[in-house]
Amino acid sequence: MATFDYSGRTTAGVPIRGRIEAATTSGVAAELVAKGIVPLQIVAAGTDGIAHFAGIERWWHERSISLSDVIMFCRQMSTLIRAGVPITRGLRGLAETVRNPEFRKILVEIAEQIEKGHELAGILQRHPRIFSNLFVAVIHIGESSGRLEDAFDRLHGYLTLEEETRRRVKSALRYPVMVLVAIAIAMAVINVFVIPPFAKLFESFATELPWPTRVLMATSRFSADYWHVGLLAMLGTGWWIRSWAATEAGRLAWHRWQLHLPRFGGILERALLARFCRTLAITLGAGLPVTQCLSIAARAVDNDHVARRIVEMRSDIESGENLTNSAHSSGLFTPLVLQMIAVGEETGAVEATLSEVASYYEREVDFDLKQIGEAIEPVMIVIVGVLVLGLALGVYLPMWEIASASRG
């Protein structure tokens, strides 16, 4: 028997660490799962430093694996299993065709571990950045029921919708981000290279300058003399915010603040609720208990504030409440959505109803993103116009005054 250190999460999402004796790492994983703990890392005792650096290296390489790679993997695996191809043979065949070299290594590793007798879900769990808890849970149910191809089909549909939502968000934000970056670059060039020659010229006039000109000259002088101070201040502020957001209290406050942003907060909340409903529908359809489904959904939303509400829903259900009452107590859903969930419970079609609720939220998010995209464009034009007007007034007002004085 060997000693292993492990880290994982309980079904409530609480981080947990400990030490356990077992013959192999797979034995440790099986014992932890039996206790209701989702293992995230299992290493031999005394190798913490090596495992830490190995984990960092693996994380760095896995960053190159995109959601599109996982979606294609789900589609191909579903097709191969449905065609009767052995899973290890299918994995090795996919490894020869995928373009991403890091994903190719992982597929080969999965095939090797399956040949050694390990379960597919347990192997996928070793790569949490690529395969989420939802992914692993659905695959586990598919393995247990002998319907692995259906599990991959469900995941393919879910991840495809997730990717489409991300693309819509990126598309809505691409234009304003590009404009803001262009404005920042233009202002930097103007302050450093354009304003100083004019400032020297204006100072030689020995007359009182208009306030727009004085503002431009002061801004340019500050940018030229104290740019390093501003850069250090921005870097320090960014580091402080990042460190604060990494704490439990900071992350909770940050996630709550995001939901109260004007316009964007409501869109984000509906997007999170769409993900929650879609996740809950998939896990319920896979045959998991509703309390475990809620635990997985709480982690899937990736927002601590919403996740706490979902955990409260699970506690209510464990106390004997039904899904409708617990959803009403959470305060997350509108009356229309609560009515749809109630109808789903009464008819025994909760999975279908939740999928419809998710589609409803996704349509609202899509519409709002289009509206914001259309509203941002004139706002950006106004901002650019104001900056150009300020620059023009600051540069040309002194010239006009001098020309007027010379004529007078």
SS3 assignment, position 8? strand
Domain boundary among 116, 134, 159: 159
| Domains contained in the chain, number | 3
The phi, psi pair for 39, rounded to 5°, reads -75, 135
Co-location of 82 and 54 in the same domain: no
For 258, the domain range is 165-408
| Domain shared by 154 and 297, yes or no | no
Phi, psi at 317, each rounded to 5°: -65, -40
User: Both 140 and 184 in a single domain?
Assistant: no
CA distance 146 to 168: 36
Question: 298: alpha, beta or left, given left = phi > 0 and alpha = psi -120 to 50?
Answer: alpha
Strands of 15-22's sheet, edge to edge?
15-22, 2-10, 37-44
Kindly state whether residues 120 and 209 are assigned to the same domain.
Answer: no
Give the domain-ending residue among 46, 62, 78.
62
**Same structural domain for residues 54 and 183?**
no
For 361, the token pair is: 């939220």
Q: How confident is the prediction along the chain (408 residues), in pLDDT tens digits per residue?
A: 567 777 877 766 667 777 777 766 666 777 777 677 777 777 766 544 444 444 454 545 455 688 888 999 999 999 999 988 888 999 999 888 888 888 888 899 899 888 888 888 888 888 888 888 778 878 888 887 788 888 899 889 888 888 887 888 787 778 778 888 888 888 778 777 777 887 777 777 666 777 877 888 888 888 777 878 888 998 999 899 888 888 888 888 988 998 888 878 888 888 888 888 888 888 888 777 888 888 888 887 888 888 888 888 888 888 888 888 888 888 888 887 888 888 888 888 888 888 888 888 888 888 887 777 677 778 878 888 888 888 777 777 777 776 676 665
Nearest to 274 by CA among 200, 395, 164: 164
Do 21 and 147 fall into the same domain?
no
Spatial CA neighbour of 121 closest among 109, 138, 107: 138
Which CATH number do you get for residue 326? 1.20.81.30
Phi, psi dihedral angles at 9 (to 5 degrees)? -135, 145
Does one domain contain both 333 and 249? yes
> Global pTM?
0.67
Contact 115, 102 (CB under 8 A): no
Structure tokens at 356: 């419809």
**Same domain for 112 and 221:** no
Angle between helices 211-246 and 248-258 (to 10 degrees): 130
200 and 249 both lie in a single domain: yes
45 & 79 share domain: no
| Interatomic CA distance for residues 322 and 326, integer angstroms | 6
Domain end marker among 159, 177, 209: 159
Is the domain of 31 the same as that of 83?
no
Centre a 10 Å sphere on the Cβ of residue 157 and count the other Cβ atoms it contains: 16
- Do 258 and 308 sit in the same domain of this protein? yes
Task: Measure Cα distances from 99 to 48, 65, 73, 159, 304 in Å.
Answer: 33, 10, 12, 20, 35
